[in-house]
Each structure stands twice: as C-alpha cells, then as structure tokens.
Structure 1
Amino acid sequence: MDWIRSQEEIESELFQIEQSFFNSMVSYDKAIDYCQNVLEFYRAMVVAQGFPDEATEIQFFKKDKPFLFGLLLQYTHQLSFELEFPNISYGRNEDIVNEKIEEVTTFLSNHKDVVLYLELQSESFDSQFFLRKNKGLFIHPGHHNYSFDSEFCTSHDGLIANILGYQGFLQFLQLKLSTTMPYFQTPIPKIIWTQSKIALTELGFALFYSGAFNHGNASLKSIIQLLEKVTGTDLGDYHHTAIRIRNRSNRTKFMDKLKISLQHWMADLDD
C-alpha cells in the first residue's frame, strides 16, 4: 500500500509548516489543515481500494491512521489552548497549565489499560480492536469533533488517536510549564557537544527507534528537541540529515564508535 505516508515524511512536513510561520497559532492551524487533507486522502483510498488482507488493515487502524489523527488532535488541543490563554507567564497562570495537565493525565489514567496495551506492543486483541467488521463489539465515543464514515473506522482507532493526541499535548503543556517557572538557583553545568551534528542526529534517531523514552511513545521531534536543548546544538532539517546517514557506506558510524568505546572501557576494567 504505497499510498500510506511514513511517519518520518509526515513529521518532516509538519516540521516545515511549523518553521514557516512565526505565529504559533497560524502554524497549528496550517498543521491541522495538512493532517485533515491527508486523512481525507486516506479515507478515499480505503473506501476505494480496501485492504489486501487483515494484517494490513490492522496495521493501518492500529498505527497509520491513529498516528496522523493523533497529531491532528494534538495540534487542535494546542491551538485551543493558545486561543484561550495567549499570555501564559509565571505566577497565576501557572495554575492554568497545571489544571490542563490534570485533565490530560486523568484521561490517560482512565484509559491506562489501552495505554499499557500500546506500550507493551500487545497484539492479543488486535482483531477485535482494529478490524472494521468487529467494530460493533465496542465503539469508543471519542473526545473530538471529527467523524468518519463506517468504512474508515474501527472500535478503537479513534481511542488510540485520542491517547496519542493527549500524550503529545501533555508534552506541550509540560514544556509550557517549564518556561513559566523561575530559573533554579543552582546553575546547570554547561555541556558542549563536540562531535558532528550528523553524529548527534544519528544518536537521536537511535534513541527514537529503540523506544528509549516514554516506553516508545515519545515523538522523534521531542527527542531531537531535547538533544538540541541539552547540547545547545541546532540540528536543522534532521530528516534531510537522516537521508545522508542512510546513504553512507557505514550507516551506524557513531553508534559503532559508542559501542567500541564502551567495550574498551569494560575490557580495561577486566585487565
């Protein structure tokens, strides 16, 4: 099914949209439009072509559609927040962010069984959750204003999208809260990245695909942003850098160096 866009392609398009507008609310609105357009394209293809087998259908409604729909809901939450609270600053407005965080965590807690199902990469209920023929067994009502025809829904793909959307929105709120807090009295040691940017990008992609953060639910973008903040390094268009990494003769050059360095350290201890 070559019409399905990869997560990397979608994140790259959304990154370009966010970088194209100084006003965050405008960028969120444009990102919502992008997600809606791709979802409508998906819907048309599913209705017209269907799926070659049940495994492909499960993959689409468990991974592909919820990933994109979750981003749509995340940007919708962020846009609504910015419209309602445009001038968040430290002090009274800190309570507003905490209240929103409590709302999000309550939703995730209420659906912790499904969150755990995703985190453990379970498959035991996939046929019940992500095949359209079984959607009558249980239908999650959803917490959004978007609806799709019956040929484009299963019992749980909307719930998964809501979970992913709220998880992304939670990261947004936590970042918002951290920027409203006063600086700590104890200074944070300054760490300077002295390897290449391509090496740091390689590390970021390795951390993302290994599922090292949030039980594998942290987005690639959030991991890259974390590395940029910690090291003070601007990684720019990291998706383009990833293409360069893939085209190298040794695709895991920096990972190999880390492994060899650690092995040398342990060998020295053994001597």
Structure 2
Amino acid sequence: MESKELTERTNNLWADLKKKIRDLKVEKKNSLEAAQFSLAETDTAIRSLKSWVITHQFDCWESEVHFFKELKPPFIAKFIYFSRVISLLSSLPHSGTKLKKGIYESELEYLRYFSLENRDFMSYYRRNATYMDRKYFLRFQYDLDVKLAVDIHSYDERFSTSHDHLIAQIIAHDDYEIFLSTQIARLKEKSFEETLPKREVQWTAPKVALTELVFALHHTHCFNGGTTSLSETVKWFEEAFSIDLGNYHNTIAEIKNRKSSPTRFLQLLTENLTTYLEKEEGI
C-alpha cells in the first residue's frame, strides 16, 4: 500500500467513525450508554488503523510525520475521551448537586495540571510549529534530550512515535473540558430551577368539560399509541390537575344524552381556535 492510499483509507475510516458516533449519540438513551458503544466503535477503528500501519513503509518522512501528527491522534483522542467519560459517569452519585459539581471541578483541575506540565509542547502544537517534527513524529527513534512520556517503552513503536500520543491527549482533553463545562452548566441551571417557586396549573373549567376532552383524546388514541386504558388516562389527568372527576362513566352518559350539541366543549374549543387563527391571518 502506498502512503497516499493509506492516507485516503485513514480519512475514510475517520469519517465513518465520526458518523457512527453521531448516530449513537442520537440512538442511545443516555450519555453513558452512548459513550460505551462509541468506545467500542473507536477501538475497532484503531485496530484496523494499526493493522495497516505496523507493516507500512512510508514513502517519505513528510508522509510519516503527517500520519502521526495529523491522522492518527484524533482516533486515540476519541478513545481517551470516551474512556474518561465512562469512568466519570459510571462513578457519579445519583443525587447531590454540590457533590457532582465538586467531582467535575476536580476533573477540570486535573486538565489544568496536565496543561501546565506540558505547556511547552502544547504551545508547539497549537502554534502549528514544525521545526521539531522529525524528532517528535517519526517511528523507531526518539531524542532523550526532549521531554518524553515515562511509559514510552510500553508503546508499540511500529504504531507510535514519541509525541503522537501527547497530541491525542491534548485533543481529548479539549473535548473533555467542554463536556465537563456543559455538565456544570446543567447543574447550575437545575439548581436555579429548583429555587423557583412552582406554580400549579389548575383546571378551572367545569369537570364535565374535562371529562369530554379526556374521552375524546382517549378514543383518538392520543396516548402511547392507543394502548393506555381509559382508567389510566383519567387517573393521569386527575393527578396532573389535582382534580377528582368522580364517576366519569355517568358523566359521559349525561353528555351523550344531551338534546343538542353533545360535544359542546369540543365545539367551543374549535370555535375559539378558529377565531384566533382568523385574527392572526388579519395581522
């Protein structure tokens, strides 16, 4: 495989992975589940990428630098990011806004510490500098005069250089910081909402009108695809509006026996909505 083909295949693999992650974010019911499935997809993609690279001989050093500086790190970054999200969400307490906020802030503090420890390389990377690329992003070599990861000898040197993993960490931490900041903002919003006085919505029209509406909605199969029983529907409305509809079967019988306009309330709704729409058209 030529280096150009490797680049094309890597770009296609990355595009496919991003699509799968987007789809999982929509499909899965919560962030933890989405992260778990996304991590599995990322792992599969990285394994494919590794199988292509470990025996590949790059056409030139520029192609090799491009791969390990630009193409590989986003994959590893996703793996790091989802691993951290899973670790965090799976250990969070179910309640306690203050406690959760403290945990998120501790994670942010770790990210700040990482930035301080690696500020020189982060500056090099974010400035798009290139003068050290041959030392940082070529395989089977590293310079002992530059700062190296303490576990560098644990890496597979066929698939790693001295600094590509550090770029992956930077990318992952950028995403993780956004995630943490979003979680903290949601906690603040939730805390603010909890301090607001709650105002109940009360049904102030006659009970017979609500009974008429409930029966109409129920027999139109508006709830749970029509699988909800009439008694369940009535109970929900009673709890929602703190009202007792009493013997609603007798009420609907009285509605049925009306001499004129049995569906009086529904007709009133139609008339009022029609009047409103006609006024809106005239604006």
Q: Same fold by TM (over 0.5)? A: yes
* Matching residue of 1:163: 170
Task: Report how far residue 98 of structure 1 moved.
Answer: 1.0
**2:263 maps to which residue?**
none
Structure 2 residue identity aligned to 1:34: E
Please list the CA deviations of residues 137-180 of structure 1 after superposition, one character each: whole Å capped at 9, or x if unmatched: 4542369xxx6522001000111111211221111111110001
Q: Under a length normalisation based on structure 2, what TM-score does the superposition of the two structures give?
A: 0.59
Q: Which runs of 5+ in 2 are unaligned?
A: 1-5, 194-283
Instruction: Give the partner amino acid of 1:3.
Output: R
1:149 maps to amino acid: D
Identical pairs, percent: 19
Q: Structure 1: give runs of 5+ residues left out of the alignment.
A: 185-271
Which of structures 1 and 2 has the bigger CA Rg? 2
Residue 130 of structure 1 aligns with which residue? 137
After TM superposition, list the pairs within 5 Å mapping 1:64-83 onto structure 2: 64-83=71-90
User: Given that residues 111 and 177 in structure 2 are in contact (C-alpha distance below 8 angstroms), is that contact kept between their aligned partners in structure 1?
Assistant: yes
- Distance in 2 (alpha carbons) for counterparts of 1:53 and 1:86: 52
Which position in structure 1 is the counterpart of 2:237?
Answer: none
Give the root-mean-square deviation of aligned CA atoms.
Answer: 2.2
Q: Which has the higher relative contact order, 1 or 2, with Cα contacts under 8 A spaced 6 or more apart?
A: 1
Asked if structure 2 preserves the Cα contact closer than 8 Å seen for 1:32 and 1:76, the reply is yes
Aligned to 2:140, the other structure's residue is in SS state helix
1:96 aligns with 2:118: no
Quote the residue 2:29 is aligned against.
22
Q: How has the CA–CA distance of structure 1 residues 88 and 129 changed in structure 2, closer, same or farther, with 3 Å as cutoff?
A: farther
Asked whether the 8 Å contact 1:104–1:170 carries over to 2, the reply is: yes
Does the CA-based 8 Å contact 1:140-1:158 persist in structure 2? no
Give the 3 Å change call, closer, same or farther, for CA 135–42 of structure 1 in structure 2: farther
Partner residue of 2:10? 4
Aligned mates of 2:131, 2:83 — CA distance in 1: 32
How far apart, CA to CA, are the structure 2 residues paired with 1:112 and 1:12? 32
Equivalent residue letter for 2:149? H
Note closer, same or farther for the CA distance 1:12–1:123 as it changes in structure 2 (3 Å cut): same
Which residue does the alignment assign to 2:47?
Answer: 40
Q: Is residue 141 of structure 1 aligned with residue 150 of structure 2?
A: yes
1:19-62: CA deviation from partner (whole Å, max 9, x where unpaired): 22113222111111111111111111112323221111101111
Determine the C-alpha separation between the residues in 2 that align with 1:48 and 1:158.
19
Q: Aligned partner of 1:5: which letter?
A: N
Instruction: Tell me which amino acid in the other structure corresponds to 2:139.
Output: R
In the alignment, the residues of structure 2 paired with residue 103 and residue 154 of structure 1 have an alpha-carbon distance, to the nearest angstrom, of 25
- The runs of 4+ residues in structure 1 deviating greater than 2 Å are 5-13, 86-93, 133-139
- Number of equivalent positions: 181
- Which residue in the other structure is 1:56 paired with? 63
Give the AA of the match of 1:4: T
Aligned equivalents of 1:68, 1:50: Cα separation in 2: 21
CA distance in 1, matches of 2:87, 2:123: 28
